[in-house]
Structure 1
């Protein structure tokens, strides 16, 4: 009897529900706490509420899934016939989600491989899809993990933000640097590096920064086959326009995803965020 490897991830992968269903991936949700409201991260409702809360400078926090939520997901996968589970999660630099999954894995009815991908958003989503593709082809748990790790190793993720203020609030940059940047109309470009979102470049004016983001993404994509995700927060038109331009500029583009981010990224970047994730095939 062949082994069935189930793939579990978390809501910060921002994979559409139809994609999760098509590849039989389970996404365990983080919680977004907006004042006294608790919402599931990664939903349209939470994204709208997040943008509004940030604009009004209200408190925004995120909470990892409980170990019991992971335990429930693992039991459901085992009950559905899984002999092994590969559980892929966002960078432990952002959240305790990985730790919660590790705790639940110890009591799971089948073996569970828990992986800190060092990724977030569709950088994590592409890892989950890579692992799922390997599992669907009859690959072993080790092969599914290797596919996800290879995917993560080739990943690039870049982000544009409208203001340095949210990075200052999150402790990413100092108050003086944020104030100077605002006075000079500096628009930051960030990158995912070492499991963290770090400063990449500072560009004058929004239009120049978005053009530079497009240029960086196109250069990184090159001529080989790639999948690309364009992320945004409360900027759907801006994201759609960037996605259309990348479709024209990247000759090897295979799949293009456009989706809104949740609080794990959004709380640090604020409304107006644009992000591009490039995953070589």
Structure 2
């Protein structure tokens, strides 16, 4: 059986990695001053950061079900007998709903996975699906691997301001922080697919230090091994410094560092620092 793996552009997989693992990435849309751009095609994270800093109106849009339909049909035409489609949390985006709608009409079975995660937590789940696919597992087992990998992920992040999350409606229970947003630097997390408050600290330096401490605690919860990613928007120097400290402190061989895509960036704003810890699965059978 030939199994195709699909994810969306918020999974943050570098194009060369997605291509090397034969993972198809469906892009989301970014709207800047009423003009729509396709993530990873004609808008970059740097473009998005400049737009936000200049005060331009920015929003995002899920892929229409028809886009998923075209992707699924193309993969079937190229020989796929089944498809595992892994996406960001349905509680922050309707992307998963679009995938589900398209799956109902697809010419081959499509197993849609709501990762209940964002960013590289979703990306690592898609990579685990590819690991199992490449090891000869069934589509059902590859989908299960993605789901379990997503459940083993922990993400913490620091934002310079809550304004972007508030405007995009993605702030969830973290809205409780808005009343004191000027006097605190929030540490946020992802819990069951929603953005939630974790802690409030008084300075940016303390927020980054606490982000490092929380990440170390999450790593210690996975004695069988982890993948760790530090993501940022327009804060590369801080991200690389954080990754280096995590490598040295925790004895990690590799900490992935990457800028978030324009879609996630639109909701968090410049200055984002995020750390994702993803507990590895046993080797695929």
User: TM-score under structure 1 normalisation?
Assistant: 0.92
Shift, 1:195, TM fit: 0.6
Q: 1:12 to 1:218 in 2, by over 3 A?
A: same
What corresponds to 1:212 in structure 2? 210
What corresponds to 1:237 in structure 2? 237
**What are the Cα deviations for residues 134-179 of structure 1, in whole angstroms up to 9, with x where unaligned?**
0000000110011011101111000011123334434537999535
Q: 1:203 to 1:144 in 2, by over 3 A?
A: same
Correspondences of 1:239-258 after superposition (within 5 Å):
239-251=239-251, 253=252, 255-258=254-257
Q: Which range moves more in the overlay, 124-133 or 80-89?
A: 80-89
Matched, 1:30 2:28: yes
Counterpart-to-counterpart distance in 2, 1:190 and 1:76:
39
Counterpart-to-counterpart distance in 1, 2:118 and 2:143:
17
Shift, 1:45, TM fit: 3.6
Correspondences of 1:1-281 after superposition (within 5 Å):
3-42=1-40, 45-171=43-169, 172=171, 177-178=177-178, 180-182=180-182, 184=183, 186-222=184-220, 223-251=223-251, 253=252, 255-281=254-280
Number of residue pairs aligned between Structure 1 and Structure 2:
276
Structure 1 contact 34–61 (Cα < 8 Å) conserved: yes
Aligned to 1:85, what secondary structure does the other structure show? Answer: strand
Aligned to 2:181, what secondary structure does the other structure show? Answer: helix
Q: Which range moves more in the overlay, 31-40 or 3-12?
A: 31-40
Counterpart-to-counterpart distance in 2, 1:177 and 1:6:
42
Structure 1 contact 90–120 (Cα < 8 Å) conserved: yes
Structure 1 stretches lacking a partner, 5+ long: none
Structure 2 contact 174–196 (Cα < 8 Å) conserved: no
Counterpart-to-counterpart distance in 2, 1:174 and 1:20:
32
Q: 1:177 to 1:196 in 2, by over 3 A?
A: closer
Q: Which range moves more in the overlay, 222-231 or 212-221?
A: 222-231
Structure 1 contact 61–263 (Cα < 8 Å) conserved: no
User: TM-score under structure 2 normalisation?
Assistant: 0.90
Shift, 1:22, TM fit: 1.0
Alignment RMSD: 2.0
Structure 2 contact 187–207 (Cα < 8 Å) conserved: yes
Q: 1:174 to 1:190 in 2, by over 3 A?
A: closer
Aligned to 2:164, what secondary structure does the other structure show? Answer: helix
Counterpart-to-counterpart distance in 2, 1:246 and 1:44:
33
Counterpart-to-counterpart distance in 2, 1:193 and 1:44:
32
Structure 1 contact 39–46 (Cα < 8 Å) conserved: no
Shift, 1:268, TM fit: 2.9
